[in-house]
Amino acid sequence: MLDLAIIGGGPAGLTAGLYATRGGLQNVTMFEKGLPGGQITQSSEIENYPGQLEVITGMELMDKWPQQCKKFGLKHDMNEVVQVTKTEDIFNLKLANNEQLKAKSVIIATGSVPKAAGIKGEAEFFGKGVSTCATCDGFFYKDKDVAVIGGGDTAVEEAIYLANICKTVYVIHRRDQFRASPHEVKKMEKFDNIVQVLNHDTQEIIGDNMGVTGVVVQDKNTKEVKTLDVLGAFIFVGRDVLNAPLKQDDGSFLCDLNDSGEVIVDLKMNTSVKGLFAAGDIRIDAPKQVVCAASDGAIAGIQAIGYLQ
Ligand code: FAD
Ligand code: NAP
């Protein structure tokens, strides 16, 4: 039986593994369905990880994390965990290859992924002007014009974040009313450099070999088509929270989630189930940054040691 099973090998899972093994836990396995490192390995430019003076790629940032964990005894299983259940004090893990395992404690660190809007040019220019993270990439557009696509709370919040950095922020929404709360919309309206482009479909993100140069939008009433000249297109059309392993046979979830499917935790990364911790982008109110996911992982790893004692 495992002392601790960590599900997900991104910054949160790896750091949880580092702290748990270095803190003395002997039998710890991290399950990762892809390559360890997590979603940051898709990024070509990171300049906000503390201590990194140069702009580096996500691959470079995560390169040594798995080796460091291995040094302290973290085992790595390249497998997908499909379900976690709990019987009395023991967790049961079902893997994609039908293997079944038991663990005394579990840290879920499977993250969440931004949804794609399905706009022409979105995939082609991803990382070359198209972004799903204002905190990560906003600074690259300092004093430049950008577009935000989406009308929910995230789009509006991130538009406000960008308005403090960029020259003009066009917020393009497909309906004539924002889905975001009126409170957030009111906050946005105070910014002179945010231009609302309501009731417009985004037809295409265009660019050249340097990256994005514009976003083509169509007025849904008049059918007029125009191009907004922007160098960045930030897409916030919702996220898929990767909470599937927590789903039980009866359709309920092993622990409490919020309406968006994120795991509810306290400041010590405890979930509503004893011995089950959550860390990183999967948890409520996650800032969705590597440094924060790593911090969560450290907290969860330390808490798992305490729980097992
Ligand atoms: P993730 O990194 O998402 O890791 C979760 C891991 O779990 C994945 O490897 C996944 O394969 C695995 N997994 C999922 N389900 C299962 C399962 N059932 N079984 C086994 N394994 C599973 N942050 C910054 O701080 N600075 C930046 O500049 C920055 N830029 C970014 C650019 C891009 C393009 C992207 C996509 C993100 C960026 N981020 C940035 C955000 C950062 O990557 C995330 O906040 C961080 O990776 C979250 O870490 P995590 O460990 O919680 O989740
Ligand atoms: P969301 O509420 O699901 O909103 C997604 C937005 O994207 C909607 O406006 C939707 O348009 C639009 N959209 C979806 N698919 C699209 C497509 N293919 N093309 C163009 N537009 C598309 O997602 P979210 O904003 O990420 O928020 C998720 C949850 O977190 C919500 O419950 C939200 O309230 C919460 N949240 C809260 C806060 C806060 O309280 N401060 C902050 C952030 C998020 P339609 O409106 O037409 O469907």
Q: What pLDDT score was predicted for residue 43?
A: 84
130-235: CATH topology: FAD/NAD(P)-binding domain (3.50.50)
Q: What pLDDT score was predicted for residue 54?
A: 92
Kindly state which CATH superfamily the domain 4-114+239-308 is placed in. FAD/NAD(P)-binding domain (3.50.50.60)
Name the pTM for this structure. Answer: 0.88
| Token code pair at residue 236 | 């916030």
Q: What pLDDT score was predicted for residue 20?
A: 98
Q: Which segments of the chain have a pLDDT < 50?
A: none
Give the CA distances from residue 41 to residues 45, 68, 253, in Å, rounded to whole numbers and listed in that order: 10, 17, 29
Is 130-235 in the same CATH topology as 4-114+239-308? yes
Residue pair 237/150 in contact (Cβ under 8 Å)? The answer is: yes
Q: What pLDDT score was predicted for residue 208?
A: 97
Q: Nearest bound ligand to CA 130?
A: 1
Q: Compute the distance between CA of residue 210 and CA of residue 232 in angstroms, rounded to an integer.
A: 12
Q: Compute the distance between CA of residue 45 and CA of residue 128 in angstroms, rounded to an integer.
A: 10
Q: What pLDDT score was predicted for residue 289?
A: 94
Q: Compute the distance between CA of residue 120 and CA of residue 188 in angstroms, rounded to an integer.
A: 27
The pocket around ligand 1, CB under 6 angstroms, is made up of 7-13, 31-34, 38-40, 42-43, 46, 48, 80-81, 109-111, 133, 136, 242, 245, 280-281, 288-291, 293
What are the beta bridge partners of residue 276? 106
Question: Domain locations in the chain?
Answer: 4-114+239-308, 130-235
Q: What pLDDT score was predicted for residue 42?
A: 83
Q: Is 192 a catalytic residue?
A: no
Would you call 282 exposed, middle or buried from its count of C-beta atoms within 10 A (0-12, 13-18, 19+)?
A: buried
Q: Compute the distance between CA of residue 175 and CA of residue 151 in angstroms, rounded to an integer.
A: 8
Q: Compute the distance between CA of residue 54 and CA of residue 46 in angstroms, rounded to an integer.
A: 9
| Token code pair at residue 76 | 């790595």
| Probe target for ligand 1 pocket from 136, 236, 269, with the most ligand atoms within 8 Å of CB | 136
